[in-house]
C-alpha cells in the first residue's frame, strides 16, 4: 500500500482510474479493484484525509469558486417559495446541490461520466463519442416515504436513494435532505474508493453497516463545512449527531 494520499495529483489520477473502470466489464460485480494492482489502493483513512486536506472543502467561501457556486445555488433554491411543496423543484435542488457538493468535497468524481460496457445501470445516459456514459454515482429521488429509511446508498448499482416525503405526506425539510444526501455521499466515497481488503477496514468503515469510525470522521468534517457555508439548523444538528456516533464508533471494540 502506498503512503498517505496527500500527494494530491497522483491520488486523483488513481481515483479517476477506479471510477473509469467501475462498469467496464461486469455491470454488477465490483470489479474495479481487480483491474488495478493492489499497491495502488488507498486506505479509508487516506481517502478521508484526501478530502479533509485537499478538497475545496478546506476553503472558505470567499477563496473558492466551487464553494461560492454551491452557496449561490443553495440560496437560490432555499429562496423559492414553493420549494417545500413542489417535488420537481426539490428534486432539481437536490440534484444541483449534489453536483456542487461533489465539486467541493469529492473532486467531481461522483458525477464523473464513466463508460458502461454492460446493461444499462441507470437513467440519464450521456452519449459521448458514440459511447454511453453514465455518472458514476446516481441520485434517485423518490416521491414518497419509506417505512424505515430516509436515504440509502446502494453499492450494487451505485445509487443514492432519497425518500423525500414524511409520514404525513409532506416534503421533508430541504436542509435535512441535504444532510441525508451528504451522509450517503460519504458512504459512496468510502465504498467506491477505499481499500476494503485493508485489515483496519472493518473498524474504519464496515462496522455497523458502513458506519465505522472513519466514515463518521469524514461525515463530521463534511457536515461541519456545509453548515459553515450554508447555515441551517438541521446540518448543525446532524453534525452533532455524527460527532456523537463517531465517539461511540471509536470506543467500540472490533
Ligand atoms: Zn449510513
State the distance from the centre of ligand 1 to the C-alpha of 246, rounded, in angstroms. 12
Task: Read off the pTM.
Answer: 0.89
Cβ 144 vs Cβ 170: under 8 Å: no
State the distance from the centre of ligand 1 to the C-alpha of 212, rounded, in angstroms. 10
State the distance from the centre of ligand 1 to the C-alpha of 62, rounded, in angstroms. 31
Mean pLDDT score, 21-49: 66
State the distance from the centre of ligand 1 to the C-alpha of 94, rounded, in angstroms. 18
Residues 6+ apart with CB under 8 A from 44: 190, 194, 195, 198, 200, 201, 204, 205, 212, 214, 215
Domain locations in the chain? 43-112+137-251
Number of continuous H segments (helices) and E segments (strands) in the chain:
9, 6
State the distance from the centre of ligand 1 to the C-alpha of 210, rounded, in angstroms. 6
- For 145, the grid coordinates are 416515504
Q: What are 61-118's pLDDT values in tens digits? A: 999 999 999 999 999 999 999 999 999 999 999 999 999 999 999 999 999 988 776 5
State the distance from the centre of ligand 1 to the C-alpha of 158, rounded, in angstroms. 14
- Does position 30 have pLDDT exceeding 60, yes or no? no
- Does position 57 have pLDDT exceeding 70, yes or no? yes
Amino acid at each position: 500500500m502506498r503512503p498517505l494520499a496527500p500527494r494530491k495529483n497522483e491520488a486523483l489520477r488513481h481515483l479517476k482510474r477506479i471510477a473509469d473502470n467501475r462498469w467496464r466489464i461486469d455491470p454488477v460485480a465490483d470489479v474495479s479493484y481487480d483491474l488495478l494492482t493492489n499497491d495502488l489502493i488507498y486506505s479509508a483513512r487516506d481517502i478521508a484525509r484526501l478530502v479533509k486536506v485537499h478538497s475545496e472543502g478546506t476553503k472558505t467561501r470567499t477563496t473558492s469558486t466551487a464553494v461560492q457556486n454551491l452557496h449561490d445555488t443553495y440560496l437560490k433554491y432555499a429562496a423559492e417559495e414553493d420549494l417545500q411543496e413542489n417535488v420537481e423543484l426539490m428534486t432539481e435542488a437536490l440534484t444541483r446541490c449534489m453536483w456542487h457538493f461533489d465539486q467541493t468535497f469529492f473532486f467531481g468524481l461522483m458525477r464523473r461520466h464513466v463508460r458502461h460496457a454492460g446493461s444499462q445501470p441507470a437513467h440519464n445516459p450521456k452519449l459521448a463519442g458514440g459511447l454511453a456514459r453514465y455518472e458514476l454515482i446516481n441520485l434517485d429521488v423518490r416521491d414518497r416515504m419509506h417505512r424505515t429509511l430516509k436515504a440509502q446508498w446502494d453499492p450494487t448499482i451505485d445509487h443514492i436513494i432519497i425518500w423525500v416525503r414524511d409520514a404525513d405526506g409532506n416534503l421533508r425539510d430541504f436542509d435535512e435532505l441535504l444532510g441525508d444526501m451528504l451522509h450517503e455521499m460519504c458512504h459512496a466515497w468510502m465504498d467506491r474508493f477505499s481499500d476494503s481488503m485493508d485489515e483496519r477496514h472493518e473498524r474504519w468503515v464496515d462496522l455497523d453497516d458502513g458506519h465505522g469510525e472513519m466514515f463518521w470522521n469524514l461525515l463530521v468534517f463534511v457536515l461541519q463545512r456545509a453548515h459553515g457555508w450554508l447555515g441551517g439548523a438541521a446540518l448543525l444538528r446532524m453534525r452533532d449527531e455524527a460527532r456523537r456516533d463517531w465517539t461511540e464508533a471509536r470506543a467500540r471494540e472490533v
